[in-house]
């Protein structure tokens, strides 16, 4: 290991090669509960050339490389691989070019998502993807995981905004893919192969993102229901009314209780569900959509519907949803946040199933998530030191994923497969589909040095 560290120091500055235990311990984790690995050495490159040098070095010796950003991932994608190099991109965090004429921004992969969004905002533009971790996550991590967020229903996900990228391939080649053109069909769209590839096919160093005009207005509505099915009916009726809100989030009874314990925002503890609905765009459109959503919620049986008076009131209403994960996380030592996702039409069946399974396995679960796009976050409140309970969590999760797939859904809507879900992947997508992915991996990384063991073995 000392030889490896010495070699890496010769490629970078000594202070950007970390090998002391007190440094390494923090790189053994990401945002995923109950997963951990031992990091051997961490490198902090400052430019693409250094990454090329590191990959060439590792490729010659078949040393694994795990690339990562801020480590906020929720599927264990950046957990260390034994004997491997942790390549952390956080020092490559520059916003290189804001192009107002072409509505694009070029950034280094280690740029913080929030900073990218703020840069766009500064010139009246919007970078729509807003994963929950955006204040600390890197854009490279978002692209590697193809992150979602709260605005997915209306604005889509990270992939929809990636126009181009610079990538270091497994052999050390540096390649640019894509362009500033909205339309570009010169050969296979290789950039789309790397989006969502979880660090297993290449290391993204620069990313070209599409921006859109910032909506002129935004309005927030909070509706409370005593029956879960009324909330689901509201969502269906909104879509049937041809309204695509920018946010359509929900919290179940357990989550409402935890939020109220934590943030004391005055939520009714007897409610079965809360829907947070937001419309953005032209003021006239927002007014109309909000009025319609309010009416629909009442018709579907909402016991209360509150429309935010102003931005401050809106932020207050949104607190319940924003605080959901923190509120659940403080209840138990271990919080297992899942992202089973189903077609919108199957939401009620899925929510009922999660509640039934959790009761049967005597588990405490809070459910919240993105109702508009069918992306649920069943969150198990448990303790990883209690092995017997963890086994029951595992069993419940397996049943939930199986049912999600039966309903035409997926085992992961926005967190990725990583280590956390790889045992569920074969049954979820089938042998032929998995075989295709393996062929792709072997073609692009024949020696399996890039994040080996993630997604599949």
Please work out, in degrees rounded to the nearest 5, the angle formed at the alpha carbon of residue 302 by the alpha carbons of 296 and 304. 115
Task: Report d(CA 441, CA 201) in Å as an integer.
Answer: 6
Shortest CB 44 distance to a second copy, Å: 25
Shortest CB 196 distance to a second copy, Å: 5
**Residue in the structure block whose two tokens are 């109702």:** 371
| Interface with a second copy in residues 289-308 (CB under 8 A) | none
Q: For a second copy, which is the closer residue by CB, 212 or 311?
A: 212
Shortest CB 362 distance to a second copy, Å: 28
**Residue in the structure block whose two tokens are 């297993």:** 200
28 secondary structure, DSSP code = G
Shortest CB 350 distance to a second copy, Å: 11
Shortest CB 22 distance to a second copy, Å: 34
Our finding on whether 14 is near a second copy (CB under 8 A) is no
Q: For a second copy, which is the closer residue by CB, 74 or 396?
A: 74
Our finding on whether 427 is near a second copy (CB under 8 A) is no
Strand partners, 106: 97, 208
The correct pick among 10, 352, 406, 433 for binding a second copy (CB under 8 A) is 433
Shortest CB 288 distance to a second copy, Å: 7
**Residue in the structure block whose two tokens are 């009324």:** 230
Q: For a second copy, which is the closer residue by CB, 184 or 394?
A: 184
With contact defined as beta carbons under 8 Å apart, do 111 and 93 qualify? yes
Our finding on whether 1 is near a second copy (CB under 8 A) is no
| Interface with a second copy in residues 185-204 (CB under 8 A) | 185-190, 192-193, 195-197, 201
In the numeric block, which tokens belong to residue 11?
A: 């490629």
| Interface with a second copy in residues 87-106 (CB under 8 A) | 99-103
Stretch that binds a second copy, among 242-250, 315-323, 357-365, 381-389 (CB under 8 A): 242-250
**Residue in the structure block whose two tokens are 């959503």:** 293
In the numeric block, which tokens belong to residue 259?
A: 């939020």
Q: For a second copy, which is the closer residue by CB, 12 or 193?
A: 193
With contact defined as beta carbons under 8 Å apart, do 193 and 242 qualify? no
Question: Helix, strand, coil shares of the chain as percentages rounded to 5?
Answer: 40, 20, 40
H/E segment holding residue 243:
none
Shortest CB 167 distance to a second copy, Å: 9
Bridge pairing between strands 41-43 and 85-88: parallel
* Helix, strand, or coil (residue 147): coil
C-alpha closest to that of 370 among 70, 134, 156: 156
Stretch that binds a second copy, among 22-30, 249-257, 281-289, 321-329 (CB under 8 A): 281-289
Shortest CB 140 distance to a second copy, Å: 16
H/E segment holding residue 305:
strand 304-307
Task: Report d(CA 452, CA 200) in Å as an integer.
Answer: 7
Our finding on whether 40 is near a second copy (CB under 8 A) is no
Q: For a second copy, which is the closer residue by CB, 322 or 422?
A: 422
Our finding on whether 349 is near a second copy (CB under 8 A) is no
Our finding on whether 169 is near a second copy (CB under 8 A) is yes
| Interface with a second copy in residues 386-425 (CB under 8 A) | 408-417, 421, 425
Size of the site for a second copy (CB under 8 A): 91
Shortest CB 190 distance to a second copy, Å: 5
Stretch that binds a second copy, among 11-19, 34-42, 153-161, 322-330 (CB under 8 A): 153-161
Our finding on whether 78 is near a second copy (CB under 8 A) is no
Q: How far is CA 5 from CA 1, 2, 122, 148, 301, in A?
A: 6, 5, 42, 36, 64
Q: For a second copy, which is the closer residue by CB, 80 or 374?
A: 374
Strand partners, 97: 106
Our finding on whether 122 is near a second copy (CB under 8 A) is no
Our finding on whether 440 is near a second copy (CB under 8 A) is yes
Q: For a second copy, which is the closer residue by CB, 197 or 247?
A: 197
Strand partners, 247: 278
Supply the DSSP string of 150-216, one letter for each residue: TTHHHH--GGGGEEEEEEEETTS-EEEEE-S-S---SS--HHHHHTT-TTSSEEEEEEEEE-EEPPS
> Going residue by residue from 305 to 344, which x/- string records binding to a second copy, judged by CB under 8 A?
------------------------------------xxxx
């Amino acid at each position: 290991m000392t030889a490896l560290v010495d070699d890496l120091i010769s490629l970078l500055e000594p202070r950007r090669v970390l090998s002391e235990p007190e440094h390494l311990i923090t790189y053994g984790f990401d945002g995923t509960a109950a997963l951990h690995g031992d990091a051997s050495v961490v490198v902090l490159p400052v430019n693409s050339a250094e990454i090329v040098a590191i990959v060439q070095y590792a490729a010659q010796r078949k040393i694994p490389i795990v690339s990562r950003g801020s480590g906020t991932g929720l599927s264990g994608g950046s957990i260390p691989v034994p004997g491997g190099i942790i390549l952390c991109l956080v020092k490559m965090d520059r916003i290189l070019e804001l192009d107002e004429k072409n509505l694009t921004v070029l950034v280094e992969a280690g740029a913080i998502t929030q900073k990218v969004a703020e840069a766009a905002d500064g010139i009246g533009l919007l970078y729509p993807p807003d994963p929950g971790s955006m204040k600390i996550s890197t854009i490279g991590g978002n692209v590697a995981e193809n992150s979602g967020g709260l605005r997915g229903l209306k604005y889509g996900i990270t992939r929809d905004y990636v126009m181009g990228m610079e990538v270091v391939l497994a052999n050390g080649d540096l390649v640019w893919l894509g362009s500033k053109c909205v339309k570009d069909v010169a050969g296979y769209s290789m950039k789309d192969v790397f989006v969502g590839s979880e660090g297993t096919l290449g290391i993204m160093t620069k990313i070209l993102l599409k921006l859109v005009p910032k909506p002129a207005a935004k309005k927030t509505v909070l509706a409370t229901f005593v029956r879960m099915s009324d909330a689901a009916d509201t969502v269906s009726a909104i879509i049937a009314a041809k309204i695509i809100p920018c946010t359509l989030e929900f919290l179940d009874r357990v989550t409402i209780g935890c939020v109220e314990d934590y943030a004391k925002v005055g939520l009714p503890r007897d409610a079965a569900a809360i829907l947070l609905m937001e419309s953005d765009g032209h003021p006239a459109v927002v007014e109309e959509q909000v009025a319609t959503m309010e009416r629909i919620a009442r018709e579907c049986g909402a016991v209360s519907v509150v429309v935010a008076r102003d931005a401050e009131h809106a932020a207050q209403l949104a607190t319940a949803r924003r605080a959901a994960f923190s509120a659940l996380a403080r209840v138990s030592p271990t919080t297992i946040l899942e992202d089973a996702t189903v077609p919108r039409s199957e939401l009620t069946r899925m929510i009922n199933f999660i509640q039934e399974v959790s009761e049967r396995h005597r588990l405490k679960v809070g459910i919240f998530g993105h109702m508009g796009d069918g992306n649920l976050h069943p969150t198990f409140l448990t303790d990883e030191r209690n092995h017997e309970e963890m086994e029951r969590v595992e069993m419940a999760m397996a049943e939930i994923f199986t049912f999600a797939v039966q309903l035409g859904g997926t085992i992961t809507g926005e967190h990725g497969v990583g280590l956390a879900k790889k045992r569920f992947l074969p049954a979820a997508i089938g042998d032929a589909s998995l075989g295709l992915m393996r062929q792709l991996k072997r073609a692009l990384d024949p020696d399996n040095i890039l994040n080996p063991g993630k997604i599949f073995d």
